[in-house]
Structure 1
């Protein structure tokens, strides 16, 4: 089974305003709301490609009830910890360009954290654990690295999608997969990575630091997979960029969902890039039809 953890989920409220003006009343022309958070996005795309998962994390109040109801209506299994404060709402304002306003989120109690650990006890050897997104201030900064160390020793394949110091610490505990983009790769090593050869060089260093597998996403320039001592490059299908939110999460879902079923790194990488691209070309997360349409347009080449 695949378990996703979203420590600070949200309702993503997307509003479109044609001519936004400060200090004026602005009429919203269109609005949509989705359950948000990186782990939740992974569970939603896994569900789209027919792979079951369990969504773990913290929810509270009427906003949390919306998220749980939305996930369950899509057929996604949840095992969420109920907290006292309301789950946050993030606003994405589209007015020619896109502006994001992200809330801090609720505080977590020691009891909340203990409940999450108790739910994680059901993980068994061969399961996948996806840790994605930022770590709230209520939790120790080592939360992901602690979980990676704990569950890797139990035979669980831990996937971490985070950047900065969190990624650096996690690598010491040998996660199954990490997915930095090229900007996060630069931040990890404190250097300006500008060329394709430099990305390959530093991607290999991430493997040397402890990751079993590494995917480096490079926006319109494709993606690289580092696995079993080899490097593979994936092309990106052509299409109109509509939405950047959730593309990386979709890539993670496409990869682990396919690998869990077929144990084939090349096909998993192809599905990862097709899924990420399908979300980029959509208003919400990728649909099955769009992923299938783009799959054959993704080419994988060993470098």
Structure 2
């Protein structure tokens, strides 16, 4: 199974620990896909010219993620500031708005589109600024897209023709609201819909059949990146076997492992 991600990279700055960790949805998914057994994993993003960017690159190299098509731009890395709740959940407090991710966006050239076609799936997120590129990407490969908490139907409709696997954060929805939202997604004909729900079981929809995650009690160190890790584990298994129930189990185990360490996948550095 071969997976590539295109989009965001940041360092998550833990104020309570005076440390930062490599992260960003696409970086987290790439690393955790590799950890879950993907044979080849690629990443294309925009790296800044500062020390945090070098730290992210070093972590990707150590994890075996190829990023040779990524861009380098003069400027600073995204540095969201986060702190810890009493329940060990991470909450974001904002960060600089003049990062390279805010200032630039990726436009894929033919050589890169051919490179992407070598993979089984391309994962992108709403933080990737890749909406205008999805049509080109989807002509050669299936696309996985993390909408995060973006549930406005106009936005979903604008990119749904290019997305096969759609993931949403739905922690704030009641059971009734969740079911209603799933109904509103039917016209978009996604192959798979995944909805994470914080501490509640995630829900997956395939061919109008609903599957629920089985959660185990674990001691949580840090929830940062758990949803990204769930996506990575799920995709790695589903693309390999086509078995959605096995994919949910693998995604769940992946998320559990992520919750056992600080950061999206470790690699702390002092702020």
| Corresponding position of 1:78 | 67
Mapped to 2, the partners of 1:103 and 1:119 lie a distance apart of 30
Moved more, 76-85 or 34-43: 76-85
Q: Report the structure number with the largest CA radius of gyration.
A: 1
The structural deviation recorded for 1:66 is 1.9
Task: Give the superposed CA RMSD.
Answer: 2.7
Aligned length: 253
Q: Which of 83, 88, 92 is 2:78 aligned to?
A: 88
3-state DSSP of counterpart to 1:2: strand
Equivalent residues of 1:244, 1:279 under 8 A apart: yes
**Does the residue aligned with 1:147 lie in a helix, a strand or coil?**
helix
Aligned pairs for 1:1-303 within 5 A: 1-7=2-8, 9-16=9-16, 30-51=17-38, 52-62=40-50, 63-79=52-68, 80-94=70-84, 99-100=91-92, 101-104=94-97, 105-106=99-100, 107-109=102-104, 113-114=106-107, 118-124=111-117, 127-135=120-128, 143-144=130-131, 146-154=132-140, 156-162=141-147, 163-165=150-152, 166-171=155-160, 173-183=161-171, 193-195=173-175, 197-285=176-264
Q: Give CA deviations for 1:268-287 in whole Å, capped at 9, x if unaligned.
A: 12111222233234323469
Q: Secondary structure at the match of 2:13?
A: strand
C-alpha spacing 1:150/1:275, structure 2 compared with 1 (3 Å):
same
Shift of 1:238: 0.9
For the 8 Å contact 2:194–2:202, the answer to whether it is kept is: yes
TM-score, normalisation: structure 1: 0.73
Normalized against structure 2, the TM-score is what?
A: 0.81
Taking a change above 3 Å as real, the CA distance of residues 274 and 168 of structure 1, as seen in their structure-2 partners, is farther
Change beyond 3 A, Cα 1:65–1:216: same
Using a 3 Å threshold, how does the CA distance of structure 1 residues 174 and 55 change in structure 2: closer, same or farther?
Answer: closer
**Would you say the 8 A contact 1:15–1:32 is kept in 2?**
yes
> Structure 2: which 5+ runs fail to align?
267-271
Unaligned runs of 5+ in 1: 17-29, 187-192, 288-303
